[in-house]
Structure 1
Amino acid sequence: MALGLAAAMLMASSAGVARTAELVQVSLSDKGASTEMPMGLAYTTPGRDLSKATMGIKASPGAVKAGEVTFKVKNDSKDTVHEMIVMYLADPGKPLPYVEAENRVDEDKAGDKGEVSELDPGKSGTLTVDLKAGKYLLICNVPGHFGAGMWTEFTVGP
């Protein structure tokens, strides 16, 4: 009887245990401040050739389950400040709202879900957000960086 009671209590207590956050390692990189930044490499730009990109974002894994997601972000650049912003794509394949005069995405209109603000070279930051299933972009929105190809697609599954 005591064994059965102990088993029942264990099962009841484990039912309330919260799932741990999904962990995503993010690397922000570039080929150096002296390298010319090509433009026209923003998400959904027709005919873009990302092999010409001098900046990039890598996320590992590139897909997680819906719920709490923790991004551990490292600026692997030697001389350039970068940031990482999580953008929800309400309509994947459609361009993000862009402010040409500022050479950056309009974060307020684009669906900003959180960010690790400007990181100096070699520095790291963490962001934990609750994400629903869907398509996202991880972007760097330092002026010019998004247009230079500094973004990656990210998927959150059910």
Structure 2
Amino acid sequence: MKTILKRIALGLAAAMLMVGAPGAQAATLVQISLWDKGADVQMPTGIAYAAPGLDLTKATMGIKASPSAVKAGEVTFKVTNDSKDTVHEMIVMYLADPGKPLPYLEAENRVDEDRAGDKGEVSELDPGKSGTLTVELKAGKYLLICNVPGHYGAGMWAEFTVDQ
């Protein structure tokens, strides 16, 4: 009888390990689409986050996050480059001061990632390719950006919220 009880206990323990510890939750999944209107369309400038007179209707490229808000904790971004001909990337930036522009390197036509609060990225993806990023995010405001030169300033960013 003791042998049977030990086997049952070991079986239950193994099953719990496979399923996960009580209270453990899988990462929240966020689908990301990196899009543009094509390489032959001229990229506008001045459409960076928090730019004065911001008009997103002029953007020829962008980022769509679904959902655009999640609960704090582990978040997995499944990023797909939906472009037919342009390389894109996705970087998660923490906004310490929402509404304030990210530090920008004018000479390089891109965001200064080291100063901007980079939390992780899916590096350059060829058209049609996908990648994933899993990060632990605390509550706050974030910005998802493509930092290929010129893309961020052309409107390739999306606000992202992490709630308590």
TM above 0.5: yes
Alignment-mate amino acid for residue 109 of structure 1 = R
Partners of 2:22 and 2:33 in 1: CA distance:
34
Rounded to whole Å, the distance in 1 between the matches of 2:54 and 2:21 is: 49
Secondary structure of the residue aligned to 1:147 is helix
Unaligned segments of structure 1, at least 5 residues:
1-5
C-alpha separation between the residues in 2 aligned to 1:22 and 1:55?
26
Return the match for 1:153 from 152, 159, 162: 159
Aligned mate of 1:133, from 139, 153, 161: 139
Residue 73 in 1 paired to residue 83 in 2? Answer: no
Runs of 4+, deviation exceeding 4 Å: none
- 2:27 corresponds to 1:41: no
Task: Map 1:1-158; keep pairs closer than 5 Å.
Answer: 16-158=22-164
Please report the TM-score for the alignment, with normalisation by the length of structure 2.
0.87
TM-score (norm 1): 0.91
Amino acid at match of 1:124: S
Q: Which amino acid is the alignment partner of residue 35 of structure 1? A: V
Q: Any unmatched runs of 5+ in structure 2? A: 1-8
Larger radius of gyration: 2
Q: 1:66-91: per-residue Cα shift (whole Å, max 9, x none)?
A: 00000000000000000000000000
Aligned residues: 149
Distance 2:44 2:60 in 1: 7
